[in-house]
Structure 1
Amino acid sequence: MAVKDFMTTEVISVTPDTKVAKATDLMREKGIHRLPVLDGDKLVGLVTEGTIAEASPSKATSLSVYEMNYLLNKTTVKAIMIKNVITVSQFASLEDAVYLMRENNVSVLPVVDNGQVEGIITDKDVFDAFLKIAGYGEPGIRLRLVMKNEIGVLERISDLVTENGFNVSSIIQLNNKEDKTTILEILIEGKLSAKEIKDKFTEAGFTVEDVEQTEATAN
């Protein structure tokens, strides 16, 4: 899974000379929390709600509302933006993007290739990607299988799925190195009930830890 599959390509940005007040209004209008700062086509910084809040006068100040608004209308994004911006390539894996976010304690990564901003990916995009990969919100029967991590297990499951004409819409595998077990969560589409599908897997020698009927959810 590549970053390009989940990033937002319509990037809303500002220039270094944009006034802080205007950047604030733009974020509020678009319902976003950060803005890449572009000088021409080049990424030169990032401005966020947090950086704006840090640059804004404290409520304990003696400045009047008029004076604070004046300062925000006078100050440019260039003066408060984050200059050392962590970026990621659109061809990087989604896992690489998550790692960069965690290691650098950031929730957004501009997507840059060959000096060009191709998009932006946020922690919300990552959450959406996980839900999509897990098949969340799709109707079907979700099985949780626990088995020994050994050669041929996936082949046995594949044969069982093929023999019964099951349509697998998603599958997630987690290997536990400590006890050498594998957990598989499989979402199966079809007309059989949860019990009928569970019985099929149990009869084939698999341990079904959990099974549930999932319903479609509105997007």
Structure 2
Amino acid sequence: MNVQNYMTAEVVTVPEDTKVLEALDIMKERNFHRLPVVRNGRMVGLITEEIIQENSPSTATSLSIHELNYLLTKTTVGDIMHKTVVTISATDLLEEAAVRMLEDEVGALPVVEDEDKVIGIITDKDLFRAFIDVMGYNNKGSRIVIDIPEDHSGILEDITNILAADNISINQIAVYRQKEVTQVVIQMDSLQLEEIKEILTTEGYTISSATSKEPKNN
């Protein structure tokens, strides 16, 4: 899946001359933690709650509340914004977005095209949502985890053939290779959990986890 499948397309941006207090009000009203800063429709920086906090006088200073408010009303986002911003393209894979967030220790990436034109934003929460969707966690049906002590070619084909022979449809399948064991996670439509477990254990497979989820009532 690509970034465009999970990004927020309606992005709130602010120009460089926006006052810091105004930017804070926008973040609070929209429940945002960051805002792209634009000039002529092109991104030139990023302002976040953390940046504002870092650039605010400490409570230990001798500034009065009046002086502090005066300072904040005069400071613009352009004065303190981060000008070097990690971005991503809408056509990039979600995995690439995850890697960039981890490597650069950021919680969001502005999505840009055509020389930094902002067309969206993707956050770590969007990646969590994508992971849940890919794994089918919220779907009705059964989920099993099969432990494979000695991984070898042909295992997935064997498992899918076994389930297909009993008309059990697979919605999602994932493989996690660890040092001591390989785990195959399978999400299926069927709610016949005990029958599925018996089918696979009879064929010699070890089930380490098995759960089922009934469909939600509308």
CA contact (8 A) 1:89 1:111 kept: yes
Q: Following TM superposition, by how much is the alpha carbon of 1:118 offset from its aligned partner in structure 2, in angstroms?
A: 1.9
User: What is the aligned partner in structure 2 of residue 126 from structure 1?
Assistant: 127
User: What is the aligned partner in structure 1 of residue 20 from structure 2?
Assistant: 20
Distance 2:106 2:100 in 1: 8
Matches within 5 A, 1:1-219: 1-115=1-115, 116-147=117-148, 148-176=150-178, 178-179=179-180, 181-192=181-192, 194-215=193-214
SS of the counterpart of 1:102? Answer: helix
Aligned CA RMSD, in angstroms, stands at: 1.7
Q: Following TM superposition, by how much is the alpha carbon of 1:167 offset from its aligned partner in structure 2, in angstroms?
A: 2.5
Number of residue pairs the alignment of both structures matches: 215
Q: Following TM superposition, by how much is the alpha carbon of 1:94 offset from its aligned partner in structure 2, in angstroms?
A: 1.1
Distance 1:167 1:117 in 2: 41
Identity of aligned residues (%): 41
5+ unaligned residues in a row in structure 1: which ranges? none
CA contact (8 A) 1:172 1:185 kept: yes
102-111 vs 56-65, greater mean Cα deviation = 56-65
5+ unaligned residues in a row in structure 2: which ranges? none
Amino acid at match of 2:207: V
CA contact (8 A) 1:18 1:76 kept: yes
Distance 2:158 2:50 in 1: 52
SS of the counterpart of 1:165? Answer: coil
Q: Following TM superposition, by how much is the alpha carbon of 1:204 offset from its aligned partner in structure 2, in angstroms?
A: 2.4
Q: Following TM superposition, by how much is the alpha carbon of 1:83 offset from its aligned partner in structure 2, in angstroms?
A: 0.4
CA contact (8 A) 1:8 1:119 kept: yes
Amino acid at match of 1:79: D
SS of the counterpart of 1:82? Answer: coil
Amino acid at match of 2:213: T
